Structure 1
């Protein structure tokens, strides 16, 4: 249960105010909150299922330390690209 709570809070905080939440608000304005909520849940579930399955498979063949370093480097690259307006 500790893992689930840690993941929940990490994802919850990371997603606050991001483009997904803004898109969901826009869809809610057009289709209503129930349709927007169900659509957002299904879309996020599909994306996170892909991430979880790929992460599980990567964990079998790549050391976790290497995955952490690659993910950290990727976040830095995306941050730089966002600062300079390339994303």
Structure 2
């Protein structure tokens, strides 16, 4: 049964969690939950509005650009601070 539960938990974590869920959990540990909840809600609403207005390929490019930009900012912050 130990192998069963270990496999179950690994698959559950791999399939259920995505980057967004892990980020929200990490923020909730560090910051006030109300602020995290408000930011998450605003992000969801904004994402849905953008999805209605922009074609999927452009939205994917904007998303990739933001992801890349935040990665670069994170790296610079990690090495310079």
Gaps of 5+ in 2: 1-15
- What is residue 23 of structure 1 aligned with on the other side? 30
- What is residue 45 of structure 1 aligned with on the other side? 37
Alignment of structure 1 residues 1-87 onto 2, 5 Å: 9-10=17-18, 11-15=20-24, 18=26, 20-21=27-28, 23-24=30-31, 39-40=32-33, 42-85=34-77
- What is residue 9 of structure 2 aligned with on the other side? none
**Residue-by-residue CA offset, 1:32-78 (whole Å, 9 max, x unaligned):** xxxxxxx41x2222111111111111112111221111111111122
> What TM-score do you get using the length of structure 1 for normalisation?
0.53
CA RMSD in angstroms, aligned pairs only: 2.7
Which structure has more relative contact order (CA 8 Å, sep 6+)? It is: 2
**Larger-Rg structure:** 2
Gaps of 5+ in 1: 1-7, 25-38
> What TM-score do you get using the length of structure 2 for normalisation?
0.56
Q: Which runs of 4 or more aligned residues in structure 1 lie more than 6 Å from their structure 2 counterparts after TM superposition?
A: none
